[in-house]
């Protein structure tokens, strides 16, 4: 590490400084741990000045490439990736620093908890994801410390030297680069851990439409990476929504011509209804009970469709799957 350089470099990719970043900067600066720099990677020139912060203007490139460029310009030995719509708790870096005392740990993933001032639908969306499974639920609520092999960059910290040795993010994977870089890191034999005390607060989607778009997006990338990175993409839980979608479709058709299949089909639907009711009960909220049931059903169907599309369509590099970036080709920044 260069003399006088900070230990942590916080990298925030964005199009331009927005109200989320203006909300987040005071939280970054108010952390108990002070040995850090903030790098905001933007597409445009910025004039707003924030303490301990510098800008890198890179133009219209994928978020993965923004992160890569931020790392190249960073001075810290540990990179702290966080989304532009998230902000850290006071002990975010302090707790991460303690975990990194174990030299076998190359990366840390932490939860992205819903901010207190969130809309009702954001609470529904967050609860649906939190209750989705014990594997993915810890991204949205505090879980137990454990070893992991995949984590999103909304709250991901990694040793810079290991990140660079792994080749960084492959920018042609616009949305799946998290899985790709984690796969490259664990191949080195080192560990990535989930630390429930390395906390940020992350805003979820505000509408059902955007929630389902995001879910479809995730499903497509997971389906594609099942073939490319099986070590951290193939888990039985990932297949369940796709199998449910296929069961709904073919089971419904076959039940028309067979009473036996119809009986089995209705019995399975009955069990699934019980599962949804239990999910609603797990919210421990009368207000969230029915909305979570409905959105859980829609989310699982959407994810299943997305996963099947990802498996069938294959290489998603000619055009990004990101619904928010339909007009930009991910091949713009192929390496």
In this prediction, residues 38-49 reach a mean pLDDT of 94
CA neighbor of 128 nearest in space, from 296, 300, 302, 282: 296
Task: Say what the pLDDT of residue 234 is.
Answer: 64
What pLDDT, on a 0 to 100 scale, did the predictor assign at position 238?
73
Decide if 135 contacts 147 (C-beta within 8 A): no
Domain ranges of the chain: 8-120+138-204
**Each residue's pLDDT tens digit, 147-179:** 998 899 999 999 999 999 999 988 776 667 888
Torsions phi, psi for 138 (to 5 deg): -70, -5
Q: Is 190 within 8 Å of 104 (Cβ atoms)?
A: yes
CATH topology of domain 8-120+138-204: Spore Coat Polysaccharide Biosynthesis Protein SpsA; Chain A (3.90.550)
pLDDT at 320 over 60: no
pLDDT of residue 240: 83
Q: Which of 328, 309, 308, 310 is nearest to 318 (CA)?
A: 328
> What tokens does 226 get?
């099942």
Question: pLDDT tens for residues 273-309?
Answer: 999 999 999 999 999 999 999 999 999 999 999 888 8
Q: What is the pLDDT of residue 2?
A: 61
Residue 307's pLDDT is 87
**Confidence band, pLDDT 50/70/90 cuts, at residue 187:** confident
Exposed/middle/buried for residue 102 (C-beta within 10 Å: 0-12, 13-18, 19+): exposed
Is the pLDDT at 3 greater than 50? The verdict is yes
**Structure tokens of 36?**
């850090």
Name beta bridge partners: 275: none
CA gap 206, 210 in Å, rounded: 7
Question: What gap in Å lies between CA 236 and CA 66, rounded to an integer?
Answer: 33
Q: Give percent helix, percent strand, percent coil of the chain, each to the nearest 5.
A: 50, 15, 35
Residue 256 CA to residue 265 CA, distance in Å, equals: 10
- Indicate if the pLDDT at residue 321 is higher than 80: no
| C-alpha atoms less than 13 angstroms from C-alpha of 236 in its C-beta half-sphere | 1
pLDDT at residue 192, rounded to an integer: 96
Residue 136: name the closest of 112, 157, 100 by CA: 112
Per-residue pLDDT band at 330 (split at 50, 70, 90)? very low
Average pLDDT for 25-45: 96
Supply the DSSP symbol for 192.
Answer: E
Mean pLDDT of the chain, nearest integer: 88
Query: Which has more pLDDT, 225 or 257?
Result: 257
Assess contact for 106 and 159: CB atoms under 8 A: yes
Out of 82-91, 208-217, 244-253, 318-327, the most confident range is: 82-91
Q: Which pLDDT tens digit goes with each residue over 188-202?
A: 788 999 999 999 999
pLDDT band at 327 (very low <50, low <70, confident <90, very high): very low
Q: What pLDDT score was predicted for residue 141?
A: 92
DSSP 84: T
pLDDT at 121: 97
Residue 264, classed as helix, strand or coil, is helix
Work out the average pLDDT over 256-275: 92
Q: The tokens of 195 are what?
A: 């630390």
**Residues present in the chain in total:** 335
Nearest alpha-carbon partner for 185 in 107, 272, 85, 102: 107
Percent pLDDT > 90 in the chain is: 62
């Amino acid at each position: 590490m260069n003399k006088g350089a900070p230990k942590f470099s916080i990298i925030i990719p964005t199009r331009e400084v927005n109200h989320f970043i203006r909300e987040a900067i005071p939280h970054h600066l108010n952390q108990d741990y002070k040995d850090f720099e903030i790098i905001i990677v933007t597409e445009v020139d910025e004039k707003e000045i924030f303490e301990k912060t510098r800008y890198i203007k890179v133009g219209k490139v994928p978020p993965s490439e923004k992160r890569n460029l931020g790392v190249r310009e960073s001075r810290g030995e540990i990179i702290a990736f966080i989304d532009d719509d998230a902000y850290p708790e006071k002990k975010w870096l302090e707790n991460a620093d303690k975990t990194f005392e174990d030299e076998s740990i190359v990366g840390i993933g932490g939860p992205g908890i819903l901010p207190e001032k969130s809309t009702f639908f954001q609470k529904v969306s967050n609860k649906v994801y939190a209750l989705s499974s014990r594997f993915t639920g810890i991204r949205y609520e505090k879980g137990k410390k454990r070893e992991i092999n995949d984590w999103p960059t909304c709250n991901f910290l990694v040793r810079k030297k290991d990140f660079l040795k792994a080749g960084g993010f492959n920018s042609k994977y616009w949305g799946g680069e998290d899985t790709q870089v984690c796969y490259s890191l664990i191949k080195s034999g080192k560990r990535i851990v989930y630390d429930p005390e390395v906390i940020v607060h992350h805003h979820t989607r505000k509408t059902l439409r955007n929630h389902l778009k995001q879910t479809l997006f995730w499903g497509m990338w997971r389906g594609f990476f099942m073939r490319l990175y099986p070590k951290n993409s193939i888990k039985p839980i990932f297949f369940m929504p796709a199998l449910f979608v296929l069961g709904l479709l073919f089971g419904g058709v076959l039940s028309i011509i067979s009473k036996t299949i119809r009986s089995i089909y209705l019995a399975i639907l009955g069990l699934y209804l019980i599962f949804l009711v239990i999910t609603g009960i797990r919210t421990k909220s009368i207000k969230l009970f029915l909305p979570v049931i409905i959105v859980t059903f829609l989310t699982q169907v959407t994810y299943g469709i997305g996963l099947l599309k990802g498996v069938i369509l294959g290489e998603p590099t000619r055009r990004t799957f990101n619904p928010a970036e339909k007009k930009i080709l991910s091949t713009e920044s192929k390496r």
